[in-house]
A and B are shown apart, each in its own frame.
Chain A
Amino acid sequence: MTFADFALPFLPEILVLVGVLLVLLLDVFGVKRIEVFGSITVGATLLALLFVVADLGFLPFAALSTVPASRIDIPLAVVGTPLYSFTSLGFVFQAIFLSATLLVSLASMSRSSYEKGAGVFYALVGMATLGMLLVGIASDLIFLLLAIEVTAISTYLLVGYTRRDPRSLEAAMKFYVIGALSTVISFFGASLLFGAYGSTNLYYLRSVGGAVGYPTLILLGYGLLIAGLAFKVTLVPFHAWAVDVYDGAPSDVSAFLAGGTKKIGLFAFFLVFLGPVLFFTTTGTSNPFNAGVLNTGPIFQIVLGVLAVVTMTVGNVLALMQKEMKRMLAYSSISQVGYMMIGIVIATSPAIAGATLQIFSHTFMKTGAFLVVAAVASLGIGPLISDWKGLGQRRPWLSIAFALILLSLAGVPLTVGFVSKFVLFSSAVQAQGYFIWLAVAGLLNSAISVFYYGRVLKVMFFDAPDPEPEATVAGPSPPVSERLSMGGLGYARASTIALIAVVIVTFGIFPQVILGPIQSAAQHFLIAGP
């Protein structure tokens, strides 16, 4: 194997790394303009995204693919047991991660040009992205946890990088302490699994299943991993940090956390828990891997299923009670994770595809939502939902974009959020048995969520804005051109939000374009994934 053979498949990762180094270097040499750092990160991410999409085989980019087809979706037993492997689903997730980075990097260029720490911000975003990309190709438990940690440490710093705002510093501190604790738990679980299996290779773990003689170690190990990963993805009752952190962090960073980095935990769930979910279920007759040592019944399905339902319900009910926009979005983000977990619980290819599509759409929706919050804050509008009164009149286009995002979050047809929920819930119905209750729980929760999303729509479009302070009452209302322009938001942020709205509607109308590749990736993943 030549060096090129070895290195080329990692081209996306290398591109992102080069971007990070370039940003750091320029920062050291005294470049201050945020546009420079932003352009570098956007450029690197865009190139990386191009190659990842090429790896997925999308025409007309397929020719650019740097990973030979013989190395994609190949069961690991064939090629040995390295730390990484290339799966289509991993590429899909890498594309999702890169999209999140791209959107956040693009939008952040609208901040004040000479803001202090812009270089640090983009370097951290880049490094977090690198960690996320590595999660996408991990096939070893330790490699996976380390990759998660690369992202996590970058995000701890991101939350507090402004340093001026005590709220965001406090949030960073909380995030760090809790994150460290969850890391410890995850690694402890991993070490127990190593004790039981003598390996940390995920494919090996999955293929051996319960057929080793240490059921207690296996149960403890996977149990601790559930807890550790549950922090990353904010499953209830491990969610408490998320709201404070999303609320305290700068909105751009919240967008990155909710839209991007949180999703690595979900892919980690796919990587680690397909084995337990699929194979620790029955007495072994239907299961080639399970020699009957760990006849526990479908306990992992039940535990993860309960966590999923509790998460979506608690997230929704608490979102219903929020008065602040960012906290409402944070809780809605928590509840959405509950939907995504359905895919892991059911673990059929439509379910995995549905969850992946839901993660894809949520990345756009939640990134977009937090970016709109950032944009609205930059207009001098307060943090409460009621402060958004009459935004529909003052900023019609921004409001329409936000309305689209909310409708998609609620799962209204002709948005991508509808398609992903439909695929997810219909996969639960397809799986029959008690899985149908997951679909029922999901649907009831979607019905609840309509209320709090609808309330925001009502506030924006139907409530008259509060009378302005006296100084402006006498003045003429702003001319139409000003009301319709994105002025004040910054072109980068405005165009990012517009891009998100376009994506939401485009894939809502033509879902098969992405649903097809995702479904085939999910099918391959069930066969060849770790």
Chain B
Amino acid sequence: MDLSILFGWVFLVPLLPALAFVIIGVLGERLGRFEHGGWIAVLLSGAAMVLGVLIAIGEMLNPNTYTDVSYTWFHVGASGPFANGVSFVVGTLVDPISALMLIVVTVVGFLVMLYSVGYMHHDEGLPRYYALLSLFLTAMLGVVLSDNLLEFFLFWELVGVCSYFLIGFYWRKPSASSAAKEAFLVTRIGDVMFLLGIFIYFSVYAMTGPNGGWAANGFLFVHGSASFIPIGAPGNSTLLTVAGLMLLGGAAGKSAQFPLDVWLPDAMEGPTTVSALIHAATMVAAGVYLLVVGSIFLGGYTSIVLFAIVAVGGFTTFYAATMAVVNTDIKRVIAYSTISQLGYMVLAVGAGFAMVGLYQLFTHAFFKALLFLAAGAIIHTIVTQDLFRMGGLAKKMRYTSIAFLIGALALSGIPPFAGFWSKDDVLASVYSQLGAHPEYWPFFILAFVTVFLTAYYIFRVYFLAFSGQRTRDASLPEAHEVPWVMLVPMMVLAGFAVVAGLFAFVPSFAALFTGVPGLATNVPPAYGPTDLLLSAISVTLAGAGILLAWGLWGNGRVYELRASSPVHSIRNLLLARYHVKAAYDWVGMVGMYTVARAADFFDRFVIDGAVKGFERSFRSMSDGMRRIQTGLVSDYATYVVAGVIAVFVLLLFVAPYLASLFGGG
């Protein structure tokens, strides 16, 4: 059967979780018997997964097809240089990258949903949880399947809104509520940049391409010869450089890249399942996906932007890994590791290998979801996130420990686990560009060193939590293995963490990566001797990291720094997150206060002062006036005079000056 007949029905994939959102939202607590809506969410996201995976397989069997189904929502008439108006189109696009993302989002989404049934069982407000989680899936699937930039942005915003509510799920807890706000505000900075970038793309490309131009066709993503935007030749246009940087800003916000990374570790305040979804499949993936979309559908990036992407990605990789090294909260370590791994993806996109970045996203989604779910299993049974109170869990939670070990090996990049293939692919891709771009060297080295750090910090977590004879804190509840609804998703994900990297050796799967023309790719089958050498070095580094972790923390050991050690200050700096967050808080506070104070001052002294001044002069002019006026009305009457004067000042002095600046319009 030709699965491509399903491509037109792909809109059902986001619609099924949306249906779950509506059903659970409307019926609410009346769904108590169905695990408060949990089973409905599982069922519908499962259906979405089946359809999504079938469509993805269809795309693999019909390599390099772009199936667009769209509908014009409304049309804004022509004016100015947009001679054919602007259309707002809604539609779906099935292409290699959305097929890949369909697998990631629906599979991880379904498994997290299933796991939630066990993990969230004792919580309150479950209908709200399942409704929002379903909407979160819808939003991300919307981003992935959007066939135009406007629709993409709307779903992108919806992802942000859902994450706000989910991170703040325990909204009675002040820390959760402030983490949610932080996530929303920080990503919003990125969103505003993204929006400005969209503006620039619109104004540059509005009239290019067939059928009356890009704007008239609703800013469709079209690839190949019918594309509205010339591919791969952005030149050195300053406008496009700014646009690309803005796009990078948007991606950095969502994908938590430096300097917009502060929200992600704090987003741990949400339920662990939400973290798993955010870190693996939904929120942070959107940023990288945007960068890939930019490479494929928006004409690529100028060289300055590419360097900026490499710099941001390479630096973030290292920067986040260092903070993971010292943290004592199991979820936060994994959170920093996400930022670091996202850095690899961004790095690959910047080096010109968008599909390699996506490959890393694909494998990372599975092992990162796995790590979070395993961490969630620990938190579920012993109710602490502090690594130094855990220990010896391998005996009591055998399956969970195996699952975590597989995730850790995959993250460290030990062959044949998934992370090895994609991470080495990233390193090899960047390496291949070093000849042409020697300025990439520092970031390549940072990325390489990070391999060592990664293996060290994740095995530090593993040994602290699972090795040894007993838990360090005896007051904790007795650990036990988690129920099957939680184990099954972990096992499936563990299976993916083992084999996802090897998928690239399946020709039809690899076709997803090689099928996009105009983009350099080197998925593993294209390995040369240099790549093998790089792999050997990186595996050695990872092995060294694991050994060091074993030496310091293995078998129940706890490594204590000597009090005099100079490493203390570094450790404190890292624990304080390089003081970046504190600086943000300070800037935010001072900024807010200044604005508020200025507004207050303006209102009280400038406006009121002017009004009072006028009033006084009026009163002295006419004593009789006072008798017929209430004080307040005279206030407002003086506004009249002030306002008229303001209009004339504008009209006679300010506007002619500005008009002369604009050269007479």
Contacts and interface: CB of A to CB of B under 8 A. Distances in A.
Interface of A: 170, 173-174, 177-178, 181-182, 185, 219, 223-224, 226-227, 230-231, 237-238, 240-241, 244, 281-283, 295-303, 306-307, 317-318, 321, 348-351, 353-354, 413, 419, 422-423, 426-427, 429-434, 436, 439-440, 443-444, 447, 462, 511-512, 515, 519, 522-523
Interface in B631-665: 632-633, 635-637, 639-640, 642-644, 646-648, 650-652, 654-656, 658-660, 662, 664-665
B203 interface: yes
Given A282-B665, A440-B199, A515-B76, 16 more contacts: A170-B632, A223-B651, A244-B632, A281-B665, A295-B664, A297-B656, A298-B655, A301-B665, A302-B659, A303-B650, A317-B599, A350-B79, A426-B76, A427-B76, A433-B662, A440-B196
Given A297-B662, A440-B196, A303 B647 contact: yes
Given A178-B637, A419-B74, A444-B192, A432 B203 contact: yes
A512 B607 contact: no
A219 B643 contact: no
Interface string B136-150: 000000000000000
Nearest to A512: B74
Given A297-B664, A299-B659, A430-B86, A237 B643 contact: yes
Given A302-B655, A523-B77, A238 B665 contact: no
Contacts of B640: 178, 181-182, 185, 227, 231, 238
Contacts of A447: 188, 192
B195 interface: yes
A353 to B, nearest CB: 7
B624 interface: no
Contacts of A224: 644
Nearest to A519: B77
**Most B CB within 10 A of own CB, among A295, A303, A434:** A303
25 contacts: A178-B639, A223-B644, A223-B648, A226-B647, A227-B643, A230-B643, A231-B643, A237-B642, A238-B639, A238-B643, A244-B632, A281-B664, A297-B655, A297-B660, A298-B662, A299-B659, A300-B651, A348-B79, A350-B79, A422-B76, A426-B76, A429-B199, A431-B80, A432-B81, A436-B199
A302 B651 CA distance: 8
B182 to A, nearest CB: 14
A307 B633 CA distance: 23
Interface string B30-74: 000000000000000000000000000000000000000000011
Contacts of B78: 350
B642 A174 contact: no
A440 B202 CA distance: 14
Given A177-B633, A298-B659, A302-B659, A237 B77 contact: no
Contacts of B152: none
Interface in B188-234: 188, 192, 195-196, 199, 202-203, 206, 215
B634 to A, nearest CB: 9
A511 B80 contact: no
A237 B643 CA distance: 6
A440 B188 CA distance: 15
A321 B595 CA distance: 12
Contacts of A523: 77
A306 B650 contact: yes
B85 interface: yes
Nearest to B86: A426
Interface of B: 73-82, 85-86, 88, 154, 171, 188, 192, 195-196, 199, 202-203, 206, 215, 599, 603, 607, 629-630, 632-633, 635-637, 639-640, 642-644, 646-648, 650-652, 654-656, 658-660, 662, 664-665
Contacts of A436: 199, 203
B633 to A, nearest CB: 5
Contact of B74 (A303, A432, A444, A515): A515
Contacts of B646: 237
A351 B76 CA distance: 9
Contacts of B74: 419, 423, 511-512, 515
Contacts of A350: 76-79, 85-86
Nearest to B634: A177
B94 to A, nearest CB: 23
Q: Which of B77, B85, B599 has the most CB of A within 10 A?
A: B77
Give the residue among A219, A223, A413 with the most B Cβ atoms within 10 A.
Answer: A413
B647 A223 contact: yes
Contact of B644 (A219, A227, A439): A227
Given A178-B636, A297-B656, A354-B76, A430 B82 contact: yes
A462 B656 CA distance: 51
Nearest to B658: A302
Contacts of A240: 635-636, 639
A297 B73 CA distance: 38
A211 B233 CA distance: 50
Contact of B79 (A170, A182, A231, A427): A427
B271 to A, nearest CB: 17
Given A223-B648, A237-B643, A238-B643, A283 B76 contact: no
A114 B31 CA distance: 46
B659 A296 contact: yes
B659 A297 contact: yes
B151 to A, nearest CB: 9
Contacts of B648: 223
Given A185-B644, A296-B659, A523-B77, A462 B650 contact: no
B73 A511 contact: yes
Counting chain A CB atoms within 10 Å of each CB, the highest count among B154, B632, B647 belongs to: B647
Contacts of B636: 174, 177-178, 240-241
A307 B650 CA distance: 9
B16 to A, nearest CB: 18
B88 to A, nearest CB: 7
Contacts of B202: 429
Given A240-B639, A512-B74, A430 B647 contact: no
Nearest to A422: B88
Nearest to A444: B192
A367 to B, nearest CB: 24
B639 A303 contact: no
B651 A219 contact: yes
A413 B157 CA distance: 10
Contacts of A223: 644, 647-648, 651-652
Contact of A174 (B633, B647, B652): B633
A438 B557 CA distance: 63
Contacts of A348: 79-80
B499 to A, nearest CB: 39
A303 B654 CA distance: 8
Given A237-B607, A422-B88, A423-B76, A297 B665 contact: yes
Most A-side CB within 10 Å, residue of B199, B603, B640: B640
Contacts of B171: 462
Given A178-B633, A297-B656, A317-B599, A512 B75 contact: yes
A185 B643 CA distance: 11
B662 A432 contact: no
B652 A219 contact: yes
A173 B633 contact: yes
Contacts of A433: 662
Most buried by A among B79, B195, B215, B665: B79
Contacts of A177: 629, 633, 636-637
Contacts of A423: 74, 76
Closest 7 CB pairs of A and B: A297-B659, A299-B655, A348-B79, A302-B655, A298-B665, A430-B82, A511-B74
Contacts of B656: 296-297, 299
Contacts of A307: 647, 650
Contacts of B651: 219, 223, 226, 299-300, 303
A506 B660 CA distance: 46
Contacts of B199: 429, 436, 439-440
